[in-house]
A and B are shown apart, each in its own frame.
Chain A
Amino acid sequence: MSGEKVKLKGIEWKRYGPLLLNREWCKGCGICVAFCPKNVLKIGEDSKVFVDKEEDCTSCTLCELRCPDFAILVER
């Protein structure tokens, strides 16, 4: 999954449905993965988050609210 490139405030993000990821800022702590009610996210081999099941995302924003690194945004 590559995701469409989006520029926000001069910073590059990648869009997966309602989710915008900044993998440069992600430190791979896994908080978003563990507490996603729909298991949408996973940690990749590079120890950073990726979107595994985009279609299951309900835009509940819990990942964005709990991400310590501001690396996920949810558009709703």
Chain B
Amino acid sequence: MAKSLEYIRLDKFPHVWCPGCGIGIVMGSIIRAVDKMEINKNDVVMVSGIGCSGRMPGYCDFNTLHTTHGRALSFATGIKLANPKFKVITVMGDGDALAIGGNHLIHAARRNIDILAIIINNWIYGMTGGQYSPTTPLGSFATTAPYGQVEPPFDVLKLIKGSGASYIARGTVYHIRELDKLISGGLQKKGFAVVEVISQCPTSFGRRNKMGSAVEMMKRQKEETVPVKKAEKMSKEELKGKIVRGLFLDEERDEYTERYEKLIAKAKEVHQK
């Protein structure tokens, strides 16, 4: 689809991501979702924090903003409140979204603000040199865990569900057609939507954990994940070591900017009396 070229800043290519990095695949999926929904690219705002994923707005021809570490959602909240007609997409890594930006994430979910938050989970801080993140699996190696990670990871989706988002999904870059659908669904949702994307970092995570090439890491995404429908019929034993993927939650709830506009109207009314 040569159309994808209309959404990228060609003068910035080739991009900076390592060979086999999944972030470029996620970017393609986001672009296809915007194109499929026929949203004008000038009505889209893409916001990122710091990290490898933070580079994505530089390559996408939307309104784009590259902010400070963990603060993509705080800037995005401001943008959405200032101009609710914008479709706001934030792109964060696991460290950016869950460690430095963890508080912004749970509160954006609590407010149910109409933002699509893509969390690219590659289990590690890639850009800064392979430090462990809040999703690094127990026992995995990182530069800051030379004897294996001793902390248990977050279950990202349970965290978000507890905080109150209205759309929650998990996909992988291997299951690309499914990912396209999940991201489109999140983009259509009026409310806070989170799509966690399991991705590979062959350079900082794969290499240190002897997982082989990007191709080998993507084969793992195929072997180690199960669709949510299938998982419902599996026992706890069978699900051990598996990651469940698919759509976990899709419900209608009061959205924040709408509630805020009502509040402004009410305040004006009170003021005029």
Contacts and interface: CB of A to CB of B under 8 A. Distances in A.
Are both chains from one complex?
yes
Interface of A: 8-11, 20, 24-25, 27-31, 34-35, 61-62, 64-70, 73-75
Interface string B211-233: 00111001100000000000000
Nearest to B29: A65
A59 to B, nearest CB: 11
A30 B214 contact: yes
A67 B14 contact: no
Main secondary structure, interface of B, reads helix
A10 B5 CA distance: 11
Most chain B beta carbons < 10 A, residue from A24, A31, A62: A31
A70 B8 contact: yes
Given A27-B14, A66-B25, 8 more contacts: A9-B5, A10-B10, A30-B20, A34-B219, A66-B174, A68-B21, A73-B4, A74-B1
B137 interface: no
Contact of B20 (A24, A31, A35, A75): A31
A68 B2 CA distance: 15
Interface of B: 1-2, 4-6, 8, 10, 13-15, 17-25, 28-29, 173-174, 176-177, 180, 202, 213-215, 218-219
A34 B212 CA distance: 14
A25 B13 contact: yes
Given A65-B28, A68-B24, A70-B24, A29 B1 contact: no
Choose among A29, A66, A68 the residue with the greatest number of B CB atoms under 10 Å from its CB.
Answer: A68
B205 to A, nearest CB: 15
B19 A29 contact: yes
Nearest to A33: B215
Q: Which 6 A-B pairs have the closest CB atoms?
A: A68-B24, A29-B20, A27-B19, A34-B215, A29-B19, A25-B14
A9 B219 CA distance: 34
A75 B20 CA distance: 23
Contact of B14 (A20, A24, A31, A35): A24
Contacts of A10: 10
Given A9-B5, A65-B177, A75-B2, A31 B214 contact: yes
